[in-house]
């Protein structure tokens, strides 16, 4: 399991219902079931990953964030997780709304487009930035909705979501040291991880 | 013809339920025989049973040689010691469907008419539904002393039975695998069945369904029905790979130059073989009864048009499997079931296996399919607390 998945697992209370959207091979699901006794299920768009996960006994269905969340009832889950995918969905705002409709909490991670390396590349070279995180050329990238940490915070405020916890994470998934200043995190954090809740969901 | 006689004389392992069944059509059918086979050993806690539901032309001989054809069981590559449905671990049950012709009560069974004459039911056999088939299986499961099935597994019409099991007896099914199936028979599905039936009706040896009186069977009509249906089980790619446009000389006519049917495409020869071997083991009236049951199947309609309703509150673990080249029961139909289950937040896995073998892929060698079945059942067993 990736290190940032451990950070996500740390946000999830034991014996809760979890939907992992874009669950890949289901490593987080497996961890949550075995270590936290969670009822954890997944949605994955890549059929090879789905087959791999189901062949390991994990409840994963083929689907994607844009089209399949609408079919779930309200409050079906305690947590809905979206890992490193928000920037690649067709309608990020609608997906977040669905996540916080069917789940009481949403856990969202995404690569931060505000990272200093991207800013410097844009400024000095005048070209779309290419880094280890943003590593596909503009015409091939699936990341059609890049955003910065500050952009995301603005969206959460506009939509009325409460940010219960946030952290910056480096590419290896290690928690980055920018814990107090969101502006520094926006400059130096490669990935961002948020725990959101609806206003009517009590703080845990 | 002898084949009818030989079929009738076969004895199958079965249990008789004298009280019978109340059918969806309102008819009370009694007594009811359910013929079945089992494999493996039922655990002391009776918690390791897996029910396999067979398709339209299948039967209970899942994993041992067919008593008529001598061929290996229809799913012998899937069910057996060490296989994905592992009989070293699980107790596997398969019953011939109600309306079938391999020992369960069906159109070929004898009944006493109102005037006291005893004869086969034939076309007088009451219309049955997929749910009636499932009710008959439930009688068997109760008879075997099994309260909850670890899993119900089936492809095609077997998948319809799986769905019906979870809707009708939700507490009796811990895990369900509907494979290459649909929540209702589509207009296209019904259309194909109708052509099959018309082929049987058009056979001069059909005799209005009372063919046993003339000691005949509508072999030609049934064979044509099977040939047509068989095309729907395969993809274009599979047909092309298997046969292409290859031809062979028709024996006896090869010497006539320019004869219209002097040579035969291999695909024609294959279909004829499929047709002729089918009539040796299947009864035309059963074919009519069962295809009609499939046509009537509509899970949503049974629940006021809401396909989610039968699943409300379900605790069954589902694994829905479709095949990418199956155009008879396409992935879009399977997805309808998946979404109906999503609407009630059921525990559902959904996999489309990449295959070019068409609907028949569930009977053929597909490693990803095998892995999926094995893994899902292992996961179900773990969650059910079976070591």
What ipTM was reported for this prediction?
Answer: 0.90
Does B57 have pLDDT greater than 60?
Answer: yes
Partners of B379 on chain A (C-beta within 8 Å) are 56-59
How many Å apart are CA B110 and CA B201, to the nearest integer? 22
Rounded to an integer, the average pLDDT of A158-183 is 85
Q: Kindly tell me if the per-residue pLDDT of B158 is higher than 60.
A: yes
Rounded Cα distance between A72 and A5, Å, is: 24
Q: Is the CB of residue B154 less than 8 Å from the CB of residue B78?
A: no
Confidence check: pLDDT of B6 > 50:
no
Q: For B49-55, what is the mean pLDDT?
A: 98
| Contact predicate B344/B313, CB 8 Å | yes
CA distances from residue A161 to A153, A155, A201, B234 in whole angstroms, order as listed: 9, 9, 10, 51
- A56 interaction partners in chain B (CB closer than 8 Å): 375, 379
What's the confidence (pLDDT) of residue B254?
55
Contacts of A63 in chain B (CB under 8 A): 338, 350
- The predicted-structure confidence for B10-42, as pLDDT tens digits, reads as follows 789 999 999 999 999 999 999 999 999 999 999
Q: What is the mean pLDDT of residues A182-190?
A: 91
Give yes or no: residues B160 and B195 share one domain.
no
pLDDT for position A204: 67
Give B379's pLDDT tier (boundaries 50, 70, 90).
very high
Query: Tokens 């959207």 — which residue?
Result: A21
**Phi-psi map region of A27: left, alpha, beta (phi>0 left; psi -120 to 50 alpha):** alpha
What DSSP designation does B124 have? Answer: G
3-class DSSP assignment, residue B332: helix
Measured distance CA(B117)–CA(B127) in Å, rounded: 21
Q: Which pLDDT score, from 0 to 100, does residue A200 have? A: 81
Lowest mean pLDDT among A140-144, A168-172, B159-163, B236-240: A168-172
Tell whether B237 and B355 lie within a shared domain: no
pLDDT of B140 above 80: yes
Q: With 60 as the cut, is the pLDDT of residue B4 above it?
A: no
- Statement to judge: residues B230 and B149 lie in one domain: no
B29 with B157, same domain?
yes
Residues B67 and B104 occupy one common structural domain = yes
pLDDT of residue A177: 74
Q: What is the mean pLDDT of residues B147-151?
A: 98
pLDDT at A174: 75
Q: Answer whether B348 sits within 8 Å of A59, measured CB to CB.
A: yes
Domain boundaries A3-197, CATH class: alpha beta
Of A43-52, B152-161, B248-257, B306-315, the poorest mean pLDDT is in B248-257
For the cut 70, the answer to whether the pLDDT of residue B256 exceeds it is no
Average pLDDT on B69-87 reads: 96
Strand partners, B369: none
Q: Residue B325: pLDDT band by 50, 70, 90 thresholds?
A: very high
CA distance B343 to A69: 10
- Is the Cβ of B376 closer than 8 Å to some Cβ of chain A? yes
Query: Closest Cα partner for A97 from A113, A82, A112?
Result: A82
pLDDT, one tens digit per residue, over B80-133 is 999 999 999 999 999 999 999 999 999 999 999 889 999 999 999 999 999 999
Of A198, A199, A195, the closest CA to residue A81 belongs to A195
Q: Does B342 touch chain A (CB under 8 A)?
A: yes
- CA neighbor of B230 nearest in space, from B281, B262, B196, B186: B196
User: Can you give the CATH number for the domain in which B359 is found?
Assistant: 3.40.50.1820
Please compute the mean of the pLDDT values over residues B341-368 and round it to a whole number. Answer: 96
Give me chain A's average pLDDT, please: 93
Asked if residue B117 and residue B89 are part of one domain, the reply reads yes
Catalytic residues of B: 156, 326, 359
CB contact (8 A) between residue A62 and residue B372: no
Q: How far is A57 from chain B (nearest CA, A)?
A: 4
**What count of residues does chain A have?**
204
Give A9-23 pLDDT, tens digit per residue. Answer: 999 999 999 999 999
Name the E strands within B30-137: 32-39, 49-53, 79-80, 85-86, 91-95, 110-112, 118-120
- Pairing state of beta strands A77-82 and A103-111? parallel
What pLDDT does residue A176 have? 73
Strands A17-21 and A39-44: parallel
Range of the domain at B233: 191-288
Percent of chain B predicted with pLDDT > 70: 95
Task: Give the mutation candidate from A52, A55, A56, A60 for the B interface (greatest B CB count, under 10 A).
Answer: A55
Closest CA to A5 of A118, A16, A18, A17: A18
Q: Does A60 touch chain B (CB under 8 A)?
A: yes
Angle, alpha carbons B90-B353-A70 (nearest 5°): 100
B347/A contact by beta carbon, under 8 A: yes
Residue B200: which CATH number?
1.10.1740.110
pLDDT in the model for residue B7 = 46
Do B208 and B120 share a domain, yes or no?
no
pLDDT at A136 over 80: yes
pLDDT at B66: 94
CA B236 – CA A152 distance, rounded (Å):
49
Question: Is the pLDDT score of A178 beyond 90?
Answer: no
| pLDDT of amino acid B1 | 30
Arithmetic mean of pLDDT, A166-174: 82
Closest Cβ–Cβ partner in A47, A55, A61 for B338: A61
Same domain, B181 and B60: yes
Mean pLDDT of B159-186: 97
User: B42 with B134, same domain?
Assistant: yes
Residue A34 has what pLDDT? 94
> Which residue in B342, B352, B375 is closest to A56 by CB distance?
B375
Q: What pLDDT, in 10s, does the model give residues A25-55? A: 999 999 999 999 999 999 999 999 999 999 9
Position B158 in a domain: yes
Do B311 and B337 fall within a single domain? yes
**Range of weakest confidence among A131-140, B333-342, B365-374:** A131-140
Q: What is the pLDDT of residue B253?
A: 57
Q: So what's the pLDDT on residue A1?
A: 81
Res. B73: pLDDT tops 80: yes
Domain boundaries defined on chain A: 3-197
Check: CB of residue B256 under 8 Å from CB of residue B219. Answer: no
| Residue B293, in any domain of the structure | no
Please report the pLDDT score of residue B9 as a whole number: 58
What average pLDDT does range A52-73 have in this prediction? 96
**Is B42 found in the same domain as B130?**
yes
CA distance B84 to chain A (A): 11
The answer to whether the Cβ–Cβ distance between A51 and B380 falls below 8 Å is no
Question: According to the model, what pLDDT value does residue B2 have?
Answer: 31
Q: Are A31 and A61 in contact (CB under 8 A)?
A: no
C-alpha distance from A70 to closest chain B C-alpha (Å): 9
Tell me: cis bond preceding B31? Omega within 30 of 0 counts.
yes
pLDDT band (50, 70, 90) for residue B3: very low
**How many separate domains does chain B show?**
2
- Whole-number Å distance between alpha carbons of B73 and B60: 9
**Residue A161 DSSP one-character state:** -
Q: State whether residue B354 sits within 8 Å of chain A by CB.
A: yes
Q: pLDDT (tens digit, 9 = 90+) per residue, B200-216?
A: 999 999 999 999 999 99
The residue from B268, B288, B308 where one domain ends is B288
Say yes or no: B318 and B379 in one domain: yes
Burial B290-302 (b: 16+ CB within 10 A, else e): bbbbbbbbbbbeb
A61 touches chain B (CB under 8 A): yes
Please give the angle made by the CA atoms of B307, B309 and B312, to the nearest 5 degrees: 130
Distance (Å) of CA B134 to CA A55, B124, B190: 28, 21, 21
Q: Output the pTM of the full model.
A: 0.93
**pLDDT tens, residue by residue, B276-294:** 999 999 999 999 999 999 9
Question: What's the token pair of residue B385?
Answer: 């607390």
């Amino acid at each position: 399991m990736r290190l940032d998945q451990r950070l996500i697992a740390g946000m999830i209370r034991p014996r809760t219902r979890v939907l992992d959207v874009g669950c890949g091979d289901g490593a987080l699901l497996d961890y949550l079931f075995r270590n936290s006794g969670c009822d954890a299920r997944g949605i994955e768009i890549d059929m090879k990953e789905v087959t791999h996960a189901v062949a390991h006994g994990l409840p994963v269905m083929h689907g994607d964030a844009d089209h399949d969340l609408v079919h779930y009832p309200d409050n079906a889950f305690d947590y809905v997780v979206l890992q490193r995918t928000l920037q690649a969905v067709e309608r990020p705002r609608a997906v977040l709304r669905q996540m916080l409709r069917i789940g009481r909490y949403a856990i969202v991670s995404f690569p931060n487009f505000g990272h200093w390396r991207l800013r410097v590349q844009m400024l000095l070279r005048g070209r779309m930035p290419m880094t280890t995180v943003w590593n596909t050329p503009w015409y091939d990238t699936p990341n059609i909705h890049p955003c910065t940490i500050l952009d995301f915070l603005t969206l959460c405020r506009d939509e009325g979501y409460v940010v219960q916890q946030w952290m910056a994470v480096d590419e290896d998934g290690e928690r980055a040291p920018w814990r107090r200043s969101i502006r520094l995190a926006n400059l130096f954090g490669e990935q961002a991880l948020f725990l959101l809740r609806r206003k009517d969901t009590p703080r845990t | 013809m002898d084949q009818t006689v030989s079929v009738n004389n076969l004895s199958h392992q079965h249990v008789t339920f004298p009280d019978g069944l109340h059918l969806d059509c309102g008819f009370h059918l009694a007594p009811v025989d359910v013929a079945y086979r089992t494999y493996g050993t039922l655990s002391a806690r009776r918690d390791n049973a897996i029910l396999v539901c067979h398709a339209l032309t299948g039967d209970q001989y899942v994993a041992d040689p067919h008593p008529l054809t001598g061929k290996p069981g229809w799913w012998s590559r899937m069910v057996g010691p060490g296989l994905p449905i592992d009989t070293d671990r699980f107790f596997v049950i398969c019953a011939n469907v109600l309306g079938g012709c391999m020992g369960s009560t069906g159109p070929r069974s004898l009944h006493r008419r109102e005037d006291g004459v005893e004869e086969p039911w034939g076309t007088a056999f009451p219309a049955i539904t997929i749910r009636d088939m499932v009710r008959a299986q439930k009688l068997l499961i109760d008879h075997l002393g099994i309260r909850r099935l670890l899993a119900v597994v089936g492809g095609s019409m077997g998948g319809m039975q799986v769905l019906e099991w979870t809707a009708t007896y939700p507490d009796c099914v811990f895990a369900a695998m509907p494979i290459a199936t649909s929540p209702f028979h589509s207009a296209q599905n019904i259309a194909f069945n109708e052509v099959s039936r018309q082929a049987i009706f058009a056979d001069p040896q059909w005799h209005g369904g009372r063919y046993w009186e003339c000691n005949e069977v509508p072999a030609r009509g049934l064979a044509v029905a099977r040939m047509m249906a068989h095309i729907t089980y395969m993809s274009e790619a599979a047909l092309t790979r298997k046969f292409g446009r290859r031809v062979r000389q028709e024996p006896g006519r090869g010497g006539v130059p320019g004869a219209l049917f002097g040579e035969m495409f291999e695909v024609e020869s294959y279909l004829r073989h499929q047709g002729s071997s089918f009539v040796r083991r299947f009864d035309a009236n059963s074919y009519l009864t069962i295809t009609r049951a499939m046509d009537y199947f509509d899970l949503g309609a049974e629940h006021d048009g809401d396909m989610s309703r039968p699943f409300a509150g379900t605790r069954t673990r589902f694994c829905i499997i479709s095949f990418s080249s199956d155009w008879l029961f396409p992935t879009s139909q399977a997805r309808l079931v998946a979404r109906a289950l999503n609407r009630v937040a059921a525990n559902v896995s959904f996999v489309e296996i990449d295959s070019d073998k068409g609907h028949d892929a569930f009977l053929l060698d597909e490693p990803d399919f095998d892995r999926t079945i094995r893994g899902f059942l292992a996961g179900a067993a773990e969650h059910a607390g079976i070591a």
